[in-house]
Amino acid sequence: MKISSILLLSMVLLAPAGLFSAAAFERDRPAELDRAEESLKTARNELQHAGDEWGGHKAKAIEHINAALQELERAEHSVGEHRH
C-alpha cells in the first residue's frame, strides 16, 4: 500500500465530526476512537516494514502518525480532566 494511501485512510478515520468534542467523551471511550487508534498503529507498522526509506518520506509519515497518536492521548487526557 502506498504511503499516501495509508495516510489518507488514517485521516479519513479521524475525520468524523465530533470525534474530539467533549460530548463524544461523556460516555466511555468511543469505539470509533479505538478503531482510529488501531488503524494508525497498523499504518505505522506497515510503513515500518515497507522496505526502503522512500527519500525520507516514509520516516516523515511515521512521525505524523506518532504525532496523531499523541494528539489522541492528549485529547482523551484533556477531556478526562474536564469531567472531574
pLDDT in tens, 3-55: 666 655 565 555 554 555 544 445 577 899 999 999 999 999 999 999 887 89
In the prediction, which pLDDT does 24 show? 45
Higher pLDDT, 79 or 13: 79
The Cα–Cα gap between 48 and 10 comes to 15
pLDDT confidence of 84, banded at 50, 70, 90?
low
In which region does residue 24 sit, left (phi positive, over 0), alpha (psi from -120 to 50) or beta (all else)?
alpha
pLDDT at 64: 98
Of residues 11 and 65, more confidence is placed in 65
Spatial contact of 51 and 1, defined as CB atoms under 8 Å apart: no
Q: How far is CA 70 from the centre of its chain?
A: 8
Conformational region of residue 28, where left means phi above 0, alpha means psi within -120 to 50, and beta covers everything else: beta
Global pTM value? 0.62
